[in-house]
Chains A and B, each alone.
Chain A
Amino acid sequence: MIEVHPFLAPDFQSKEPRELALLSIVSQSFFQPFSVQDNLLVILTALTSGSGVGFNRAMFFRADGDILRGELWLGPRSADEARTIWEVLSTPGLGYIEIIEHNRWLLSGDADSLSRRIRPLAYSLSADNVTVPVTAAARREIQLVRDASREPLVDPRFLEAIGVEEFLCVPLVSQDEIMGLIVLDNAFSRQPIAPKDVKLAGLCGLLAANYIATATLHRRMVDMERMAALGEMAMFVTHQIRNPLAAIGGFTDQLLNAPDDEAKRRRNLEIIRREIRRLEDVVYKLAHFLKVDPAKRPEPFDLKLALKSVVGAMEMKAAAEGRTLSAEIDERLPFVRGDATAVGEALRNLIINAFEASPPGGRVDIAAERRDAAWVVVRVADAGPGIPPEAQDRLFSPFYSTKDRGMGLGLLYVKRVMDACGGKIEVESAAGRGTTFRLLFKSQEEGRADA
């Protein structure tokens, strides 16, 4: 017998032990592809929701180098608001998604007046700063503060901002590095903070710290990858430019040194012309590559028309090179969304690639049709040798090319164009059986149905 359980089933209203409910909420932040901000929100939600730890408000300070800065403060703004929210949140069947949605609204724009109160707060994390709440982070200790106004170590600006006598400071520490600080209180219920709450908040702090550490590490990795790609680009471009320059320089010097050598004159000039064209090509491709603007709003356009225009131009090239280009374009093709010029250029790229992969006299097939109600598919298929699996993994990496003089930008360009219009690119290739690229566009009719 096989018993099936939902993978994620956090239910805020369940009568599960609080620890378990808390764990399942916080685990969401490790599981969901949310932004860092959203995941912090999940953790703060876990600390403030009724079936989580149940604090009234949660404040998050981020460690930024040696500075601890106020960033987010989640909770009702007044006792009235607190009552309303608690009523809403006790609606039976309300899931964590709804609560997080509600909290996201709390932290957005005008609603977020709490966070604005703590954003001016910034503290040095140095050892000689002995004010609360900094010491909780700096000394890595959980501090429960009572009678705050009578405690000289509490920073007066902080006290003014939080406006309560009792609060809990939980340091966020991961691998001995301070990631931040969470401050919790029960401003509206006025319930004293119990030892059990302290324990649960500590556990939450550990999870939050590790989440932030992982997220930070991930961002650093992405940055490093970008830098590496940039370095590779610089190296590649250098190579693409230095070689033609060396040829142009060398053959020009020959002309200058022996101006009367008639035989060399024409040949050298021809070489120089060719190399200049190569340089132009490098500049063109780079400029083009850098031009795709993912932020540009894709607009509906007639894909059928764009296809026909590209195919028309490419048929001439095919004929000149003794190749066959066949196209089957569905006459009832719906409009799709994208940047028409960029899509045309992307198609041109794919067709040229297909030509170059084909044997002499080879045939390239293009087909465009509706895949289903939502998608339109354009296929470009060649009968070339196919792409080996190890190369398939790298096809869309910048400056990766299987061609001797390839810049490694063509397919990346196509992918960027497709990404920019919310489309997809797929590749299917088998040794000896050729390669098929599929471009998937969102049908504009579907878009209308959405609206």
Chain B
Amino acid sequence: MKRILIVEDEEALCLLYAEELSGEGYDVTTARDAEQALDILKRERFDLIVTDIRMPGRDGVELITQIVGLRRDVPIVINTAYQSYRDDFMTWAADAYVIKSSSLDELKARIRELLAR
């Protein structure tokens, strides 16, 4: 079973992603902020990471840099409400950039593609 780490500060969305991606047959772990995510990443291995960008405390963009440093081989999906960060070169380190919408289809499709590589 492929393991996915979700980093999302919105409580409702965290729950939604966990349920929906588990339903797709993934083993899902959630972190509510970047600090927590880094903590988990130090102990556990994942096949893919989904992260938001703007979160309280440490910023998601900063988190991505650290994840890349920590786990160079793990694909990262940015899942955010902000369009504009697509232009931020720091986010180019990510493998996919998904804008949050009322449908989870795109997020699921990107995850499937990246895990099939």
Where the two chains meet, the residues of A that have a C-beta atom closer than 8 Å to any C-beta of B are: 235, 238-239, 241-243, 245-254, 271, 274-275, 404
Contact with A along B99-116 (1 / 0, CB 8 A): 111111000000000000
With a CB–CB cut-off of 8 A, which chain A residues contact B25?
none
With a CB–CB cut-off of 8 A, which chain A residues contact B9?
404
Is B68's beta carbon under 8 Å from chain A?
A: no
Taking a contact as CB atoms under 8 Å apart, the answer to whether A242 and B13 are in contact is no
With a CB–CB cut-off of 8 A, which chain A residues contact B82?
235, 238-239
With a CB–CB cut-off of 8 A, which chain A residues contact B56?
404
Taking a contact as CB atoms under 8 Å apart, the answer to whether A239 and B12 are in contact is no
* Alpha-carbon distance A246/B102, docked complex (angstroms): 4
Chain A residue with the shortest CB-CB distance to B12: A247
Q: Contact partner of B16 among A235, A238, A241, A251, CB < 8 A?
A: A251
Instruction: List the 8 closest pairs (A to B, CB-CB), nearest first.
Output: A249-B102, A242-B81, A247-B12, A246-B100, A250-B16, A239-B81, A242-B100, A404-B56
Evaluate whether A247 and B10 lie within 8 angstroms (CB atoms) in the complex, with A242-B101, A253-B103 already known. Answer: yes
With a CB–CB cut-off of 8 A, which chain A residues contact B13?
243, 246-247, 250
Chain A residue with the shortest CB-CB distance to B14: A247
Q: Contact partner of B101 among A239, A249, A254, A271, CB < 8 A?
A: A249
Contact with A along B55-93 (1 / 0, CB 8 A): 010000000000000000000000001111000000000
Number of interchain pairs (Cβ within 8 Å):
55
* Alpha-carbon distance A404/B84, docked complex (angstroms): 21
Nearest Cβ on chain A to B46's Cβ, whole angstroms: 22
Is B95's beta carbon under 8 Å from chain A?
A: no
Q: Contact partner of A254 among B19, B83, B100, B102, CB < 8 A?
A: B19
* Alpha-carbon distance A253/B102, docked complex (angstroms): 9
Nearest Cβ on chain A to B54's Cβ, whole angstroms: 7
* Alpha-carbon distance A338/B15, docked complex (angstroms): 47
Chain A residue with the shortest CB-CB distance to B100: A246
Taking a contact as CB atoms under 8 Å apart, the answer to whether B102 and A239 are in contact is no
Taking a contact as CB atoms under 8 Å apart, the answer to whether A243 and B100 are in contact is yes
> Looking at chain B's contact residues, is the secondary structure mostly helix, strand, loop, or mixed?
loop
With a CB–CB cut-off of 8 A, which chain B residues contact A247?
10, 12-13, 16
With a CB–CB cut-off of 8 A, which chain A residues contact B20?
250, 254
With a CB–CB cut-off of 8 A, which chain B residues contact A248?
102
Nearest Cβ on chain B to A440's Cβ, whole angstroms: 33
With a CB–CB cut-off of 8 A, which chain B residues contact A251?
12, 16
Taking a contact as CB atoms under 8 Å apart, the answer to whether A245 and B101 are in contact is yes
Taking a contact as CB atoms under 8 Å apart, the answer to whether B12 and A275 are in contact is yes
* Alpha-carbon distance A241/B100, docked complex (angstroms): 10
* Alpha-carbon distance A18/B12, docked complex (angstroms): 75
With a CB–CB cut-off of 8 A, which chain A residues contact B99?
242
* Alpha-carbon distance A235/B81, docked complex (angstroms): 9
Contact with A along B14-28 (1 / 0, CB 8 A): 011001100000000
Nearest Cβ on chain A to B11's Cβ, whole angstroms: 9
Interchain residue pairs with CB less than 8 A apart (7) = A235-B84, A247-B12, A247-B16, A249-B103, A250-B16, A250-B20, A404-B9
Evaluate whether A245 and B83 lie within 8 angstroms (CB atoms) in the complex, with A250-B20, A254-B19, A274-B12 already known. Answer: no
Nearest Cβ on chain B to A89's Cβ, whole angstroms: 59
Evaluate whether A245 and B54 lie within 8 angstroms (CB atoms) in the complex, with A238-B82, A251-B16 already known. Answer: no
With a CB–CB cut-off of 8 A, which chain B residues contact A274?
12
* Alpha-carbon distance A235/B56, docked complex (angstroms): 16
With a CB–CB cut-off of 8 A, which chain B residues contact A404?
9, 56
* Alpha-carbon distance A250/B103, docked complex (angstroms): 6
Chain B residue with the shortest CB-CB distance to A238: B81
Evaluate whether A238 and B12 lie within 8 angstroms (CB atoms) in the complex, with A249-B103, A254-B19 already known. Answer: no
Nearest Cβ on chain B to A227's Cβ, whole angstroms: 14
Known: A242-B81, A250-B13, A250-B103. 8 other contacts (CB 8 A): A235-B84, A239-B81, A245-B102, A246-B100, A246-B102, A254-B16, A271-B12, A404-B9
Chain A residue with the shortest CB-CB distance to B56: A404
With a CB–CB cut-off of 8 A, which chain A residues contact B101?
242, 245-246, 249
* Alpha-carbon distance A271/B10, docked complex (angstroms): 12
With a CB–CB cut-off of 8 A, which chain B residues contact A243?
10, 13, 81, 100
Chain A residue with the shortest CB-CB distance to B9: A404
Taking a contact as CB atoms under 8 Å apart, the answer to whether B102 and A250 are in contact is yes
* Alpha-carbon distance A360/B8, docked complex (angstroms): 27
Nearest Cβ on chain B to A275's Cβ, whole angstroms: 6
* Alpha-carbon distance A241/B101, docked complex (angstroms): 10
With a CB–CB cut-off of 8 A, which chain A residues contact B103?
249-250, 253
* Alpha-carbon distance A271/B56, docked complex (angstroms): 22
With a CB–CB cut-off of 8 A, which chain A residues contact B15?
271
Evaluate whether A253 and B104 lie within 8 angstroms (CB atoms) in the complex, with A242-B81, A243-B81 already known. Answer: yes
With a CB–CB cut-off of 8 A, which chain A residues contact B84?
235
With a CB–CB cut-off of 8 A, which chain B residues contact A242?
81, 99-101
Evaluate whether A238 and B83 lie within 8 angstroms (CB atoms) in the complex, with A243-B10, A247-B10 already known. Answer: yes
